[in-house]
Amino acid sequence: MKLKALLFSTAAAVLFSAGMSQAGPKIVSGPGAEPKCFAPWAADTKYLQWEKKKGPYKVAIVNGFVGNTWRIQMIKTAKAYAEDPAMKGKIAEFKVVSTGTDAPAQLGAIEDFINQGYDAIVTIAVAPDGFDRVIRLADKNNVVLVPFDNVLDTDKVMQVNENQLEMGRKWGQFALDELHAKGVKGGKILEVRGLPGNSVDRDRSVGINEVFKKDGGKWEMVSVVGNWDDGTTQKVVADAIAVHGKFDAVVGQGGSNGVIQALKDAKHPWVPIAGESENGFRKAIAAHSADGLKGISIGQSPGLVAIAMKAAVSALEGNVMPQLISVPLPVATYKELKDGENYWSNLPDNFFTVNEFPPCGVNISGPAIMAQNESNTK
């Protein structure tokens, strides 16, 4: 019986595919929808347009690795955003799976969702290559595939990310401006780097160093490697302080809680600090900005998943979309920090604060994610 059913549906599928023309997005000229939110990566970024589909849509998230705070927060954000009034009516079905670091499993999951008739699939790719088959299948079935965060080396799909080079520049510029405001024209800057060999680490570091080089002041850059990890960062920053005595500013890419802790332990005077978006870092800025801890906090937000979902739905609605979307950097300086709004004194330190993207109408705040957490355990 199974065989018979199989034969039947195969015959149907064969007929179907024979009658179907090559679908997929058309390359069109810009500008795209909501340019403030879906900003094109560069001036030469292509624009894509899919055939308009009737909603509500079936959307799936295919995550790879799971097990660090960032990924867990990302999954919770995705679930919260699917329940958001702006999205709820547009999504008929919503599923999240994590495949681990297993390329066949991730490709298989994507293909399975295509087979199940899902309209959009949002994914963090486990590898920058190897998605040719699923891209082809997605195009054939008019499914919108949206990689974000770890994106693919291809221009055939719509992708969402933050501009890491720009992030580095913003960090550097902030520290420089604060130093200039204090009248400091030269000195020692501590740069805390991330995971070596990673393109994100490279781009951020290039951005930071570029700014100081351009300034013309006498800046001595001291680089340590913190692996974006609080513990490692705390250790290397403490070592750097022990060796160099005093820094005029600290520009770090991650593990910002570790930077703060190391400065505290060494009784290092507060200086301008640039860092990621950990809640603990923002708490410290808010508490000590009057004492000289002039801080800026920018992060690779787990909320990117919400932008990717929004972009997928927008594409399904037939809007013109940039092929590579540069999500606006979520920046908060000591001037803008407000308890309960962009940091939470009652929430843990390792929580990533930036989830909200006002230009996109994405406002999944920390407490919303915590609420999601509670409803999961029922």
Output 130 or 361, the one with its CB closest to another protein.
130
Site string for another protein, 59-98 (x = CB under 8 A): -xx-x-xx-----x--x---x---------------xxxx
CB of 137 to another protein, least distance (A): 9
Nearest to 364 by CA among 310, 304, 315, 303: 303
Q: Which stretch binds another protein (CB under 8 A): 127-135, 261-269, 294-302, 338-346?
A: 127-135
Q: Which stretch binds another protein (CB under 8 A): 124-132, 184-192, 212-220, 235-243?
A: 124-132
Phi and psi, residue 106, nearest 5°: -70, -45
Q: Which of 116, 206, 213, 239 binds another protein (CB under 8 A)?
A: 116
Query: Tokens 């929580």 appear where?
Result: 351
Q: Which of 83, 111, 177, 229 binds another protein (CB under 8 A)?
A: 111
Phi and psi, residue 305, nearest 5°: -60, -35
State both tokens at 317: 């609605």
Interaction between residue 127 and another protein (CB under 8 A): yes
Nearest to 56 by CA among 94, 23, 26: 94
Q: Which of residues 128-187 bind another protein (CB under 8 A)?
A: 128-133, 136, 153
The Cα 300–Cα 329 span in angstroms is 8
Site string for another protein, 14-43 (x = CB under 8 A): x-----------------------------
State both tokens at 335: 């001037």
The Cα 299–Cα 279 span in angstroms is 11
Q: Which of 113, 334, 352, 357 binds another protein (CB under 8 A)?
A: 113
Interaction between residue 112 and another protein (CB under 8 A): yes
CB of 127 to another protein, least distance (A): 5
Q: Which stretch binds another protein (CB under 8 A): 101-109, 184-192, 217-225, 241-249?
A: 101-109
Output 37 or 305, the one with its CB closest to another protein.
305
**331-333: strand order across its sheet:** 218-225, 186-193, 249-252, 273-275, 295-298, 331-333
The Cα 191–Cα 175 span in angstroms is 11
DSSP reduced 3-state for 337: coil
Nearest to 240 by CA among 219, 218, 266: 266
Asked if 295 and 275 touch (Cβ cutoff 8 Å), the reply is: yes
Residues of the shown chain interacting with another protein in the complex, contacts defined by CB under 8 A: 2, 5-7, 9-14, 60-61, 63, 65-66, 72, 75, 79, 95-105, 107-109, 111-113, 115-117, 126-133, 136, 153, 376
